[in-house]
Structures are given as structure tokens and as C-alpha cells.
């Protein structure tokens, strides 16, 4: 399936922090699908503390509403086509030309990191920098 990369870094740094997006930043990501398109949605930790916050923001932009399930720690929504496939953490250093994806979401589980890294590399995510996967490469 085609992969689209969404990066909410600009939302935080330009709208809330009042500055430019720094070349080095980190946060969390989720991998989602609407049944035809895959979305890798990245957000800096200062904007979205939890993976579920990313899911809620992204789905709201697509007209999907829901509510937060405190017991499960997930965002529940009523849109059968949409699925959260998992998530993890990321560390980006544009000056070093490196994006590392690692870990897994406590709420949504993990994803196949090597496969996702290959897909991110193939679509030229974050300007086509090198994408690495796994905890062993975490800075």
C-alpha cells in the first residue's frame, strides 16, 4: 500500500513554541490505514504526550470523532475503515542525516520497524535522509 508521511513538528514549533522547526527533534509515531492508504504520523513529544493523542488529532483532521478510553489508554472511534497498526518512537537529526525509529506503543503495540524504515526510505521521508530501525541504533 502507498505510504504517506505526516509530520506534526511544524504544528508545535511554529504554532505553539513560536519558532522554527529545529533540525534535531524526537517524539512518537503511529502507523495507520484507511484501508487504501497507509499513514506514518510523526509528532514531537511536546505536542503529543501519548500515541493516542496522535491518533485523535489525525482522525479529527479526517472528520472522525471518538472518545478517550481511560481504562485502555486508547482513542476509541467509530470509523471501520480506519485502523491503528501500531506505533513507536523516533529520533531525527537532519544535520547528521539520520532518522531512527524504535520501541513500540504501550497502547497500540509495535510495528515491523525494519519494513517501515525501508518504506520511509523509499518515499523519501524527511528529505530522503537515512532511516534506521531498532533499539540497537538508538542514540
- What is the pairing mode between strands 3-7 and 38-44? parallel
Output the tens digit of pLDDT for each of the chain's 139 residues: 689 999 999 999 988 777 889 999 999 999 999 999 999 999 999 899 999 999 999 999 999 999 998 888 899 999 999 999 999 999 999 999 999 999 999 999 999 999 999 999 999 999 989 999 986 444 4
pTM over 0.75: yes
Q: Superfamily for 3-137?
A: Janus/Ocnus (3.50.20.20)
Closest of 19, 13, 23, 88 to residue 46, by C-alpha: 13
In the sheet with 83-93, reading across from the earlier edge strand, the strands are 3-7, 38-44, 24-33, 83-93, 98-102, 130-133
> Would you state the cell numbers that stand for residue 79, as one nine-digit string?
470509523
* CA pseudo-torsion sign 27, 72, 62, 4: positive
Direct distance between the N- and C-terminal alpha carbons of the chain, in angstroms, rounded to an integer: 30
Per-domain residue ranges of the chain: 3-137
> Would you state the cell numbers that stand for residue 124, as one nine-digit string?
523519501
Q: Is 112 left (phi over 0), alpha (psi -120 to 50) or beta?
A: beta
Amino acid at each position: 500500500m502507498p505510504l504517506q508521511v505526516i509530520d506534526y513538528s511544524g504544528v508545535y514549533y511554529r504554532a505553539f513554541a513560536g519558532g522554527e522547526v529545529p533540525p534535531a527533534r524526537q517524539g512518537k509515531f503511529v502507523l495507520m490505514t484507511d484501508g487504501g492508504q497507509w499513514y506514518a504520523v510523526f509528532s514531537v513529544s511536546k505536542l503529543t504526550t501519548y500515541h493516542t493523542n496522535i491518533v485523535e488529532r489525525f482522525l479529527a483532521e479526517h472528520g472522525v470523532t471518538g472518545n478517550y478510553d481511560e481504562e485502555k489508554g486508547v482513542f476509541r472511534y467509530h470509523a471501520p475503515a480506519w485502523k491503528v497498526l501500531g506505533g513507536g518512537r523516533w529520533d531525527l537529526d537532519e544535520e547528521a542525516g539520520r532518522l531512527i525509529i524504535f520501541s513500540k506503543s504501550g497502547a497500540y503495540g509495535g510495528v515491523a520497524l525494519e519494513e517501515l524504515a525501508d518504506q520511509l526510505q523509499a518515499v523519501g521521508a524527511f528529505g530522503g535522509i537515512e532511516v534506521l530501525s531498532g533499539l540497537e541504533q538508538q542514540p
